[in-house]
Amino acid sequence: MLYFSKLRILFITLFSVLFILIASSNLFKFDDNFFDKKINLGLDLQGGSYLLLEIDNEPVIEQKLQNLTTTIRNYFKEKNIKINNIKIENQNIFFNVIENDKQSVLDVFQDENSDLNPYYPRFKSHQLEIEDTGLNFKVNFSRQGLIKLKTSSQDQAIEIVRRRVDEVGTNEPNILKRGNNRILVELPGLDDPMRIKSLLGKTANLTFRFVTNDENDRFGVEKLKFENGLEEATVSKRIIISGENLLDAQPKMDTQANQTIVSFTLDRVGAKRFGKATSTGIGKQLAIVLDGKIISAPVVRDTIASGSGQISGGFTFQTATDLALLLRSGALPAPLEIIEERTVGPDLGQDSINAGMIALAIGFMLVIIFMFVKYKIFGLITNVTLIVNLFILLGVLTLFEATLTLPGIAGIILTVGMAVDANVLIFERIKEELKDETNNILAFDGGYTKSRTAILDANITTLLAAIILFFMGSGPVKGFAVTLGVGIFTTLFSVYFIARLFTSIYVSRNKNKEKLI
């Protein structure tokens, strides 16, 4: 156990120096082309905002089922099968057909090549499930169908969220999927997430629809409130143009009326429809509806064929900018709800870093003094090892660009406290060996060999706890698991290579010394 070959010594030295260099790259700036890795600071240390959004898929499902009823009706019409009493209840479509048609309806739904009911061979499942309840058919989304629907609305939503966050222009946002109906948004450096929160909270579903007094409008009507929440208007359900038809939207100052407006440009289809509607609807009120609320309902005075127009509605410059941003980035497929928010101001983050560093320095000093007083020369060896260990730990974290959090710093301090354990186990064992062994070298050898199982077991148990924490914990706690877990490996390395190297050098020079430890 005490012999080290020259090659091995070289390897240990190089390895330690390499990691010390890597670790110090966090303090001194190296050439970026040469090495540009850094430990990331968690949101709790650099300040920033963590938002967990949940997609409310209910309206999407409702909408899809609504569309399906039409599709089903038309599909079977072509096949000369009449669908009766079709209705939606609790996310199920119910309908019935005459007895003779029953089998052909079932066949269509259960056909693997059906274009009405797509089949997913990978999951051996259709999009829709059909059940003959005797009285009527019950159609609903299968488990896979629902998952497909959720993931596709998540894909769309994350795209829109990204666009909106990018437009606001925060630095290095982190936008990730969580499960199949959640989106995680991390915004470093942002201490007031108010604006982003209100932007993400809006679906931004824009429609242009005529105000009508005709209750028997062919498309149906609905009563909608104005933004101010006071007035109401009856609006046709017929959509002239929607947000999808927008090419661009920008806030502008209308110098004539001296108010802020949002001007927009329409795509070809939108321009055509808008032109037609404004030519036939002169004198009527055109309601501009955003997320079920009327922004304004101007009277159409002229045919607008240019494909551009403007929205006014008593905006401030800020609200006009935000509305333009929302319109540019597109509508969310479903409403988002912020179900978890954690925001840390940058000065608290800096305070936490300072406190963590002071605690680390003091903890480190206390342990070092304790070890030196207790073990003298071997304490010194342990302390040097401890310092190298700390650097290697920081080096590994840098290499993997791990995220350091406040609990993560606590994990490092704890590692310092527990890292001495392995050395203490060895030294205590050597002391025992020296009681009946006069040969120093043999005693040291025995000390290392006999303490090995205890050290291994002890570290594996801590590692198990760290692994569970890593997989079950979230955010800052995960940072703790990382430093604790990595700390175990670096500790074992420094105890078995660095400390042992020093010990071996010292012991072979003092072979015959009595009371060595």
Partner 1 sequence: MIAFNKYYNHFNLLSSALIVVSLLLLIFKGLNFGIDFKGGTLIELRASDSKINVSSLRDRFNQMDLGDVSVKKFGNDTDFLVKFENKDNKKNIIEEIKVNLDKSFGNNYDFRRVENVGPKVSAELLKSGVIAISLSLALMLIYIWIRFEWQFSLGAILALFHDVIVTLGVFSLFSLEINLSIIAAVLTIVGYSMNDTVVIFDRVRENLRKYSDIKIFELTNISINETLSRTIITSATTLLALLAIYFFGGEILKGFSLAMILGVVFGTYSSIYIANTVLVRLRVSQKTVLREDDQNKLN
Name the site residues for partner 1 (rule: CB under 8 A): 44, 52, 54, 194, 198, 201, 337-345, 347-348, 351-352, 355-356, 358-360, 362-363, 366-367, 370-371, 374, 406-407, 409-410, 413-414, 416-418, 420-421, 424-425, 428, 432, 450, 453-454, 457-466, 468-469, 472-477, 480-481, 484
Distance CA 465, CA 461 (A): 7
Question: Which residue's CB is nearer to partner 1, number 23 or number 409?
Answer: 409
Torsion of CA 388, 394, 396, 401, to 10 degrees: -170
Question: Which residue's CB is nearer to partner 1, number 19 or number 480?
Answer: 480
- Closest CB 424 distance from partner 1, rounded Å: 5
CA dihedral over 93, 96, 97, 100, signed as positive or negative:
positive
Question: Which residue's CB is nearer to partner 1, number 54 or number 244?
Answer: 54
**What are the tokens at 125?**
């499942």
Contact (CB, 8 A) for 307 and 270: yes
| 3-state DSSP assignment of residue 187 | strand
Helix axes 406-436 and 377-399, enclosed angle (nearest 10): 140
Question: Which residue's CB is nearer to partner 1, number 77 or number 178?
Answer: 178
Cα Rg of the chain (Å, integer): 35
- Closest CB 397 distance from partner 1, rounded Å: 18
Identify the helix (H) or strand (E) that includes residue 210: strand 206-210
- Closest CB 498 distance from partner 1, rounded Å: 18
Question: Which residue's CB is nearer to partner 1, number 133 or number 474?
Answer: 474
β pairing state of 403-404 and 40-41: parallel
The residue to which tokens 């499960």 are assigned: 179
Secondary structure (DSSP) of 44-89: HHH-EEEEEEEE--HHHHHHHHHHHHHHHHHHHHHTT---EEEEEE
Identify the helix (H) or strand (E) that includes residue 450: helix 440-450
- Closest CB 421 distance from partner 1, rounded Å: 4
Question: Which residue's CB is nearer to partner 1, number 245 or number 405?
Answer: 405
The neighbouring-strand residues paired with 140 are 129
- Closest CB 229 distance from partner 1, rounded Å: 15
- Closest CB 32 distance from partner 1, rounded Å: 33
Question: Which residue's CB is nearer to partner 1, number 260 or number 343?
Answer: 343
Question: Which residue's CB is nearer to partner 1, number 112 or number 192?
Answer: 192
- Closest CB 242 distance from partner 1, rounded Å: 25
- The amino acid at residue 294 is I
- Closest CB 263 distance from partner 1, rounded Å: 28
